[in-house]
Structure 1
């Protein structure tokens, strides 16, 4: 996929901080649940994708971008890169996209009971045009390595595989044990963050987490602070570094579920109840040539979440979750490494978040456990003022 610092698709942006601590319930009260902004009220000339929240609308744009390996201005006017109002201008590619969305919807309605069985990706496969002729190079060439994210249970679960409880118990023990984890109720971390919203340059980041499910990340980018917060009920992100015509985006749907999961996994003694319908028994799976135990759960939104634990160490090395959009499902992958001891608990100091709209990397340099954190740290962020002299 093509990425530039001008990309403004942010629907699949998640709170990119997923840390692994444990604790007891927070004393602060969550703010009242906030109604998400609707795309019809924010954007102009929306004709097909109506009735979506801004968050869901942008996630749908991300699905199109990933399916065709295109960025925003490949479909929209080139002028939209610097003037958000130009996104409303019709272009031939944009008009074709509308027809294709309706075509796919019709195919699914006529043949699959309306289920999203056929999507943009079914034919495009990350190309800007579907291929009609088989590729002999692909047929007889070396097949690509298997994607561990796509591993599934076909037929009966693999016999002899550990149960979900066994995998989780080993994980808790690998982190330092339930008793040690229970001593940690909050933390403040500092480090660096880099992603498309920073122009792939490193920027300072601060992370605040409080048990059982509150999490805030503040990235100090050149344009101003970029803030992502989940207060235990509602999630927000400021639009600093993007061209979205609203100062603070309210997370909705699968992205809100993702923010909730990120916050809860900061305190892994509660991992067994973060999701439902746990499954194990997947075929042998490897990440970076190391065998992993795969455990799959189901979110409240009825989407799967896969957790990958190093078979030898027991530590979590990858999480993959999915967000439904109006035309398909977006994956988000989080990879964890560089576990270090913090007050007797192992935490990943390096993690990479990959989604349909980009990739970000966080490297922590320090973590201070059990600091008092006021509820204001997890309140709705104020719109960040754009710094003078920045684009």
Structure 2
């Protein structure tokens, strides 16, 4: 982000120059997230509490299995760290190539396998040379020497798929037999010098990222996530994760869901489904999820307002001028009249209504 000199002046105050955004230190070496409003972290903490082991950076269940398989293989062969890195990258390239062969066009309901976009030219040409594709860097499928392991590593350790260490190592809950059966053939493809996309089509029904739920590795991961029959203490991380999965599954069964995040979020946030449905009404985590989604709407509103205000600051601008710009965008009525003109946010029964959602998507 290009920095600019910004001056904000309060009434009766001496102007103070701020070189760049005031909420972050200057320099490209700062890798931490930017939270200028200090309202985003709460949502992240609650999600981690309600569904530990899953993040926005772990969209594909099959990578939990792939990394577990690599850990099992590296342990069995006593691989060095560089050798384990190579095995992991080649396995991820193979999974991406098979997934592309199975679905050359992107699916609406599932993101593409990791690395497919970077491999697009090779995949569309019909041939992937493994020694070129797996090398980390701008010419390979990924820049990181550990491929896409980093986004999944914390979740995999939390779930017991992997143990801690400088490379993937088997965790206490890794089932190597299930992973080898579910991903049968993947390591052999990873060892090939060249992958021909047309030849990978028959592997799609077994190894594509979209079919994990139908194979032993999917059953293993489902049991790991849901822990059926486990006597998890109420309020524990495993109990809330199981409740979350039960809640999401119930919404999918009872509602039309095309775009998961968008459609599920609306059901969780608005209406009386959570309190009237015979299943969701007994899920303690349902109310917490409603709070998380509504909080996310609030965070989004504050971020949009903040973004608009920042755009009004250009050079020497007083606080009063920024406030005047904001006031000028509002209708010329009293605050009470303005609030009265907005749609209702609650039904007569007290359940939340999608007022902000409807306004946001209504142009």
The structure richer in helix per residue is: 2
Q: Normalised by the size of structure 2, how large is the TM-score?
A: 0.22
The structure richer in strand per residue is: 1
Question: Higher relative CO (CA 8 A, sep ≥ 6), structure 1 or 2?
Answer: 1
Q: Normalised by the size of structure 1, how large is the TM-score?
A: 0.21
